[in-house]
Amino acid sequence: METVLKVEKLETQFKLRTGVLKAVDGISFEVEAGRVLCIVGESGSGKSVTAQSIMRLIDPPGRIVAGKIWYRNLDLLALSESAMEKLRGDRIGMIFQDPMTSLNPVFTIGEQIVETIVAHQGVKKKEARARAVELLRLVGIAEPERRLNDYPHQYSGGMRQRVLIAIAIACEPDLLIADEPTTALDVTIQAQILKLLADVQKQLQSAMILITHDLGVVSAMADEVLVMYAGRMVEYGDVATIFRHPRHPYTVGLLDSIIKLSDNRDSELRSISGLPPVPIDPPPGCAFRDRCSRAIAICGEQDPQPYNTKTGSIVLCHVIAQEETDERQVSA
Amino acid sequence: MTRFIFARLLTIIPIMFGVSFFVFMLAHLAPGDVTTTLTGPYATEEVREQIRIKYGLNEPLMVQYGNWVGRIVQGEFGKSIANRRMVAELIFPKFANTAILAVTSAALAYVIGLFVGVFAASRPYSLFDRLAMAGTLMVGSIPPFWLGLLLVLLFSLTLRWLPATGMTKIIDGGYPGDVILHLILPTIAAAAAPAAIIVRTVRATMLEILSQNYIKVARAKGIRRNVILRKHALRNALPPIATICGLQLGYLLGGVLFVEVIFAWPGIGSQLWAAIQARDIPTIQGASLIIAVAFVLVNLAVDVFNAYTDPKIRISEGMRAR
Amino acid sequence: MSTSGSAGPGQDERRRSAAELRRENLHIMMRTLTLAWHAFAKDRAAVGALIFLVVVVLISILAPYISPYDPTDAVAKRGAPPGTEGVILGADLDGRDILSRLLWGGRISILIGFVPTVAATAIAVFLGLVAGYIGGWIDQVIMRVLDIFFAFPLVLMAIVVAGILEPGVATVIIAITIGLVPYITRLVRTTTVSVKQQPYIEAARAGGAGVPTIVTRYVLPNMLAPVIVYATTLIGLMMVVGSGLSFLGLGVQPPDADWGIMVSEGRAVLKKAPHATAFPGLVIVVVSLAFSFVGDGLRDALDPRARVR
């Protein structure tokens, strides 16, 4: 399958009064057509900034300072703003987090869908409206012809998110980026929206990046998983490997904290103690070392580099790298 | 929508009564006997008694008020103390002149305010933006009467480019070009402060809107920058901007007084000032009533406009009609 | 009453803790003020403006001692330009020293800005608290009455009221106060209403506090910040309005001076002696700007949301 998006060592920084915030600090991954990559992490781990960096929607005081982003064979970082505008909404579609504030309150739903279609596909308004009706039907809005003329405040949260999905797929993009599309919705609606996303993605055979902090979503939707912490990647691999053989201490902790039916009712909830650091002028070394039970001296001195574990995932961890290297030496 | 307008008009009625009552009370609140305010200090006692009977001044206050309102509504504003003419004759034509000045100033303020404000918001913290902020701060602190004098000093007295006073040339004047020439300096003097306020409001509103999520979504759709500014952002910025613009127009209707005095513009402001100097209460009453009514109507228009552009209100009204 | 003699240790404890609470409240207030001051001090323009204003006020107070001449004495040629012997800033149309008149006039001009704002704020806080907290028909009545005042542009209201009364400084002060009360009251009322809906007010009520206590101890302190910011900016603006009224002849009467009437008098000699108009106007602008900066600085200091840049 062809690679739709390839990100290499992306670094995005924000210049604040208090220092330089390294929101994304060296992320690399790829997504192929028809596959779903889930980027997982806590709030503040840099997931949204990554997505916005790909779309080049980062505003000052933020800046993409290093790395490469390839959409097919186009270097996105080298494109002019108007060339990027042509890609956005057309070849790359993005779905944002909060449906309640993501639609312009003074335009009808129809106008907002039609706008995308007209901007990129050069069709007349009438034809665009017909397509908009089809799109609304596709995402599960009843009576689409009538509802086209409604305003956002007449839609519920779940319906608005469906509309936002419709807008994102209006031009049949081959890359979809969904930034926590279900976080702001009721649990019952979440499942519906996720299913809709999965269906849509399958139909379009587009690559999808799904950003979430919910491991349940990851297990349901992901083909590949990228775990982020404090702006850095810590583990990257396919979903089965990550869930069955988590290697990085952070990933292990995350999965461990999931409550299972088999757990004893009276046992304590497991969590990782402490809070993630805010990556302003971060010191050298692994970002997780202060909360890591396995940290060794080098973790505080050198940034860990990507290491291919024998279980199949890529981790950035001195301890794991050391451990496996030692094992190989022992068995050699 | 019409339902909304009706409701609004209803709320205006008590305000109009209150305003007219206040204006009516001006005559009674002025120090000295009421008859003095109506006929001047030199009237004899017999004349005063006649006045008292004619205007029913011996009757209870509310009855007097009622009579006064009755007269006003018929256009009878009383007779000016200062020059023996009917107040109505004095102030209505002057109001038109003031309207010309106020509307022109407002238009200038709107245009400058909108363009500079939107441009500053599209490039926040840039050199232009910082200059604009500093500039508006300074201009907004300049008293209009001083600004007017400076303009006269520079353009009329020193450079001799533009006329200093009046609305038309005294001899052979009155054609549109002549009026326009006389309009330039007063307009600049009057529009400066409102323009500064509008720039700041537009910029602040636009900045706030541009930080909204739906703007980000629009950008993610690949919509071009100017389109986003013009269509998406500006449209949402209309209510607060329209409100400020309306307020400034209203303020201009009254505040243009200073400019009229300095430039001897024959408007209702300078008429009011002359009346104040002469303690011509009936004229004061007439002039302030007209300005207040105009102000209230302008604010009403702004409210209606805002309601019309807000889909929530427009839709809900329509639905109820269904 | 002799029952106080039978007050046991329990009573004493309660009384002591009331005094302790008051001291604690004082501490908390001092800490908040210190924090606010630190935040304010970060804005260098605001601090500079504040120092400038303090200097200006001091100079005004000391005017009788530092003024070179009596402001009503003719000491030089009519309209003498700045730099003439004895009159640094020149003389006005009657030969009076402009510098002296600026110094003495400052007392009045600043007073005209300051007093109405303070008076109007006091009145407005009372009215707004009552309207906002008690609500109901009192609120409706107060707001309807204010709506009537809002029907007049502020400057017009002040001019008309001043025009009705005898000209003088007191008139200007009264007129501006009357014109200003509705605006501040509206702000106080809106803030009071939003504070009133906070959970801690309900908690206080549940704790048995009476209305006056709640209003003075809980609502008032929390509502003051935006009002103080607004009032500070208003001082400068009202000074400008007051100068306008003096310009129109409704305020200070000749031969006394304030900045507004100086501009008006300078009009007569605008071409020959422009400095007579330029200097007083310039002073008005600069002082008004200073108040704006201080007001901005206060707003940023008292606003709990931190500034991004």
Could you read off the pLDDT of B192-241 as tens digits, one per residue?
989 998 999 899 899 889 888 999 999 999 888 888 888 888 888 888 88
Report CA-CA distances (Å) from C278 to A292, C239, C260, C266. Answer: 71, 17, 11, 8
**Nearest residue, CB atoms, B220 vs list A55, A105, A119:** A55
Q: Is B181 on the interface with C (CB under 8 A)?
A: no
Q: How far is the C-alpha of B184 from the C-alpha of B105, rounded, in Å?
A: 9
- pLDDT band with cut points at 50, 70 and 90 for residue B37: low
- Segment (H or E) for A225: strand A224-229
How far apart are the CA of B299 and the nearest CA of chain A, in angstroms?
22
Residue A165 to residue A179: CA distance in whole angstroms: 11
Q: Which of B140, B284, B295 sits opposite C163 (nearest CB)?
A: B284
Query: For residue C283, what are the CA distances in angstroms to A39, B13, C293?
Result: 61, 44, 15
At C136 the three-state DSSP class reads helix
B298 touches chain C (CB under 8 A): no
Dihedral angle over CA of B73, B74, B78, B79, nearest 10: 140
| Residue A89 touches partner B, C-beta closer than 8 Å | yes
> H or E segment at B27?
helix B2-29
Q: Which helix (H) or strand (E) holds A209?
A: strand A207-212
- The H helix count followed by the E strand count for chain C is 12, 0
Name the packing angle between helices B176-210 and B144-151 (round to 10°).
Answer: 130
Phi, psi of C237 (to 5 degrees): -65, -40
Coil vs helix vs strand at B295 = helix
CB burial class (10 A; 0-12, 13-18, 19+) of residue A80?
Answer: exposed
Give contacts of B273 with chain C, Cβ < 8 Å. Answer: 248
Q: pLDDT tens per residue, chain C (309 residues)?
A: 444 444 455 555 555 576 777 787 788 878 878 877 887 887 788 888 899 999 999 988 888 888 888 888 887 778 778 877 777 888 888 888 888 888 889 999 999 999 999 999 999 999 998 888 888 888 888 888 888 888 888 888 888 888 888 888 999 999 999 999 999 999 898 888 888 888 888 888 888 777 777 777 778 878 888 888 889 889 988 999 999 999 998 988 888 888 999 999 888 888 888 888 889 999 999 999 999 888 888 887 776 554 443
Rounded Cα–Cα distance for residues B102 and C135 (Å): 38
Tell me the pTM: 0.81
Helix (H), strand (E) at residue A29: strand A19-32
Tokens (6 digits) for C291? 């108040």
**Cβ contacts (< 8 Å) between C244 and chain B: which residues?**
143-145, 258
Residue of B nearest to A167 (CA): B221
What angle, 0 to 180 degrees and rounded to 10, lies between the N-to-C axes of helices C154-164 and B2-29? 20
Subunits next to A (3 or more Cβ pairs <8 Å) are B
pLDDT in tens, B108-141: 999 999 999 999 988 888 899 989 988 998 898 8
Tokens of B108: 């200038």
Q: What pLDDT digit, counting tens, does each position of A307-317 carry? A: 898 888 999 99
Report the complex ipTM: 0.85
Distance from CA of A235 to the nearest CA of B (A): 28
Beta bridge partner(s), residue C74: C96
| Percentage of chain C modeled with pLDDT above 90 | 21
Long-range contacts of B28-37 (CB under 8 A, 24+ apart): B28/B61, B29/C164, B30/B279, B30/B281, B30/C164, B30/C165, B31/C165, B31/C166, B37/B81, B37/B279, B37/B281
Number of continuous H segments (helices) and E segments (strands) in chain A: 11, 12
